[in-house]
Amino acid sequence: MIERILQKTITQKLSLKKAIFILGPRQTGKTTLLKQLFDKDNPDIFWINADKISDRLLFEDANFHNFISFLTGKKYLIIDEAQRIKNIGLKLKIIFDEKDIQIIATGSSSFDLSNKINEPMTGRKLQYKLYPFSFEELARAFGTFEEYKNLKTRLIYGSYPDIVLHPEHQEELLQNLASSYLYKDILEWDLIKNSDKLLKLLKALAFQVGSQISYNEIAQLIGTTSKTVENYIDLLEKNFVIFRLHSYSNNQRNELKKSKKIYFYDNGIRNVLIHNFNLPEWRNDMGALWENYIISERIKFTEYHQIYTNRYFWRTKNKQEIDYIEERNGKLYAYEFKWNTRKKVKIPNSFLEYYPEAETRIINPENYMDFIMQK
């Protein structure tokens, strides 16, 4: 078992008597995390797997009153894949208010679960995200030097648990993971009518990782409207496939103000979409892979350690840019990511002029570890 950083966090938060929600992509180990935290056979626990129809029926209106009575004397109510239960937020509010019981629920679709729990459970919940294994988690399990040696593998195949634990079957497992997980929730609820368009969109985004994107250009490329592209991207982001960075601007005359870049939460998912598992020395996209990897790892690090920050990139009309910016506590932190350590890199003079108080740093394969793990 590879211990997850969230395990300690959730254990510490149980004393707060808040409902705890764990969101994240499918196959990242949410169920395994629950099993590490709780003994499924413990009589104090009522455990529900909402993938099972029989378990979902307990929450149907005709059965719900009896279900609440079943919880008498229980200390924990655990619901796995809670997004599959109708009106889950309202029903959990009723349980929370009527029963002295600790609620822990997982969900793989933030666009469904979050929307349904936010209003009913206001003031009653804590919410966390579980991602594919982080560098820090793997370094703790295998040793920092060993994980450092695996950097090129992670850049190509990503860090999903199944991929890390079965390296001899990486490509096959990634193919299965992509086909079964990328579209399941979105297509299941009929939110996207044309799966071919979705796949074309994902491939287009995979080829443009780290580049500014235009909804209009992508729409022309895949044969749809820019509004449809925007809606699809929004759903993919809420389903933990991709995430967006928006451009930072303090209204300086030359800055781009409404641009955006798109990244994947996992490099392996990105590479399986373009069917490219070539070694780094045979690729021409290592800069994009490095940027995607390091930003996604930084997101895991800041969220797991509750470092609250706004995230951006920065670019001017004459194409000066900063790969990644964090804004926290009223201060800017600017980072450039470079795979090739032999190339000299400078922070643009215009950025230093506009933001003289910002901290700046170049992140490369020689110094990246303290950027994505606790010392």
207 and 329 both lie in a single domain: yes
In eight-state DSSP terms, residue 182 is S
Q: Which residue has the tokens 């592209």?
A: 229
pLDDT tens, position by position, for the chain (375 residues)? Answer: 899 999 999 999 998 889 999 999 889 999 999 999 998 889 999 999 998 999 999 998 889 999 999 999 999 999 998 988 888 889 999 999 999 999 999 988 766 677 778 788 888 899 999 999 999 999 999 999 999 999 999 999 999 999 999 999 999 999 988 887 766 666 665 556 667 888 889 999 999 999 999 999 999 999 889 998 998 898 889 888 999 999 998 877 777 778 899 999 999 999 999 999 999 889 999 999 999 999 999 999 999 999 999 999 999 888 889 999 999 999 999 999 999 888 788 899 999 999 999 999 999 999 999 999 987
Q: Which helix (H) or strand (E) holds 367?
A: none
Q: Is residue 160 part of a domain?
A: no
Choose the final residue of a domain: 71, 101, 129.
Answer: 129
Distance separating alpha carbons of residues 357 and 253, to the nearest angstrom:
19
Q: Is residue 166 part of a domain?
A: no
Phi, psi at residue 67, to the nearest 5°?
-60, -45
Taking Cα atoms as reference points, which of 217, 212, 219, 295 lies closest to residue 256? 212
209 and 304 both lie in a single domain: yes
CATH for 336? 1.10.10.10
Q: Is residue 114 part of a domain?
A: yes
Supply the range of the domain harboring residue 211.
178-372
CA 5 to chain CA centroid, Å, is 15
Residues in the chain: 375
238 and 315 both lie in a single domain: yes
Q: Tally the domains of the chain.
A: 2
